[in-house]
Amino acid sequence: MKKYGLIGFPLGHSFSEKYFTDKFEKANLKNYKYSLYPLEDIKDFPTLLASDNELYGINVTIPHKIEVLQFLDEVDAAAKEIGAVNCIKIVHGDTVKSLFSGELCTFKPSKFKLVGYNTDAYGFEKSLAPFLKKHHKKALILGNGGAAKAIKYVLEQLKIAFKFVSRKPEADMFSYADLNESILNEYQIIINTSPVGTYPNANEFPAIPYQFLTDKHLLYDLVYNPEETLFLKKGKEKGAAIKNGYQMLELQAEKSWEIWNS
């Protein structure tokens, strides 16, 4: 049996288990299983690993994408630059070749190596690209957690200027109270990386001044459950282009599967 799964907390909103279960069934992979592992405290992660030697890959979601780094043996270059991991490859075996140095590393029997990646960046960039217009020069990133780090990385690669918006802003960030018509006229991409609006709290939405949105704006919500959050609905009412995070989920999941099987 080869097992894979998702760690995070809470996980009631996640589509990952169904996505991979359906994938395994369609491919007739009877000895493969994907499960949810709701870990409230990241300190329980080693216990999970020790309890099951059939685990070969883990996805990581809120709130553990940054804290999980402390448990990894290696982190690939992009994930290291991003500073957050959402995909872990569990390499089993007595002797394996280092994925990055080319050196042979010897393990004791049943020992494994944890290698971290960030597939969020890949999924976000591929799903965002078709929506970008020439006037989309600047972006607001709502939230500054692990997911936001991947978004920052992609925007830097695309040469799109950005500012973080946070309830507890640090230097060079906006607070939600700072946002006004002038700022929204300047920043015409708005990306929600926070869990606000996620099922079952679908009646919530980020506190931005929606009255200043126009048909030149692009609203991207990493939330995908519900399919259309209030954040997106309010943008659509003002003529803005909208995009939820489901395609990003699919793309990052397929990238994770590619990594686990490489």
Residue written as token pair 């990385």: 153
Q: Which amino acid does the sequence have at 5?
A: G
Contact indicator for 113, 73 with CB cutoff of 8 Å? yes
Q: How many residues does the chain have?
A: 262
Contact indicator for 137, 161 with CB cutoff of 8 Å? yes
Q: What is the full DSSP assignment across 136-157?
A: --EEEEE--SHHHHHHHHHHHH
Choose, from 65, 149, 243, 255, the residue flagged as catalytic.
65
User: Nearest-CA neighbor of 73 among 59, 58, 89, 60?
Assistant: 89
Torsion of the alpha carbons at 155, 161, 166 and 169, rounded to the nearest 10: 130
Q: Which amino acid does the sequence have at 216?
A: K
CA distance 8 to 15: 13
Confirm whether 65 is a catalytic residue: yes
- Beta strands per DSSP E along the chain: 2-8, 32-38, 55-60, 74-75, 87-92, 95-97, 104-106, 112-117, 138-142, 161-166, 174-175, 189-192, 218-221, 241-243
Residue 152, phi then psi, degrees to nearest 5: -55, -45
CA distance 183 to 190: 11
> Catalytic residue positions?
65
